[in-house]
Amino acid sequence: DKDIFTDTANVEFNINFKGVNLFYTVDGTVPDATSNKYSAPLLLTESSEIRVVAQKEGWDTSPPAEKNIIKARYQPKQINLNTPPSEKYKAEGPASLINFKRGTVEFGAGEWLGYEQKHFSATLDLGELADVSNVAVSALEATGSYIFFPKQIKVAVSKDGKKFEPVAQKDIPTTAAPAAPLKKFFKLSFEKKFARYVQVEIRSHLKNPAWHPAPGAPCWVFVDEILVD
């Protein structure tokens, strides 16, 4: 029932059918009968993209169930935004990005920070120097409501909060067709760095793609958590 942990996480698969075998992966690949066979709860020590399928003789294999479980060793002491979110979608302010509470796919429920036709960046203060090597951003996509995943995410780190070193970048393709609302973690990994400040730049597509019913109209980017490991 949770998808963020700070140290370790136990993961259990439940199914009500008898005589069913469950096969799983933790690296995001699609499992099959050659994958790990489930027999007991998993103990996770690192962020994992879990996928699991059910197989029963004489039956088709189930579609994969999947869930991202993200490790966040550090909960920042403070966060500053270079641009305030929309007044309509500001949750509880910048602190909503570091409270370890994810929103639902209902973007109007009050847990998301929303930006219309804007990029933004956040600077996280861990409170002290620490070794960091992963940053994960939780974002929402709801194409019918003009909300798209970020176009690009960049990460830079600093010891003093003044001089930042770029360490990672992820480019995210524009969704190619209408899609049901979905929230997703985007993880950026990099060589371990000793830093106190983590800067995350989130770039929007700014406008709806050509296939959209309102092509070229301003679009939104919605974020609810930025996690550091």
| The predicted structure's pLDDT at residue 222 | 98
Amino acid at 181: P
Alpha-carbon gap, residue 11 to 90, rounded angstroms: 32
Tokens in use for 134? 């992963």
pLDDT interval class at 119 (50, 70, 90): very high
Residues 68 and 184: beta-carbon distance below 8 Å: yes
- Mean residue pLDDT of the chain comes to 95
Alpha-carbon gap, residue 226 to 137, rounded angstroms: 5
CA-to-CA dists, residue 63 to 50, 51, 60, 182, angstroms: 13, 10, 9, 17
Residues 47 and 70: beta-carbon distance below 8 Å: yes
| The predicted structure's pLDDT at residue 16 | 83
CA 163, 166, 167, 171 torsion-angle sign: positive
pLDDT digits (tens, 9 = 90+) for 14-44: 888 888 999 999 999 999 999 999 999 999 9
R_g over Cα of the chain: 19
| The predicted structure's pLDDT at residue 17 | 83
pLDDT over threshold 90, residue 1: no
| The predicted structure's pLDDT at residue 205 | 97
pLDDT digits (tens, 9 = 90+) for 146-192: 999 999 999 999 999 999 999 999 999 999 999 899 999 999 999 99
Q: What is the DSSP letter of 180?
A: -
pLDDT over threshold 90, residue 50: yes
Strands in the chain per DSSP E: 4-5, 9-11, 21-25, 36-37, 42-44, 48-55, 65-71, 78-81, 113-116, 120-141, 152-158, 165-171, 182-203, 220-228
Q: pTM of whole model > 0.85?
A: yes
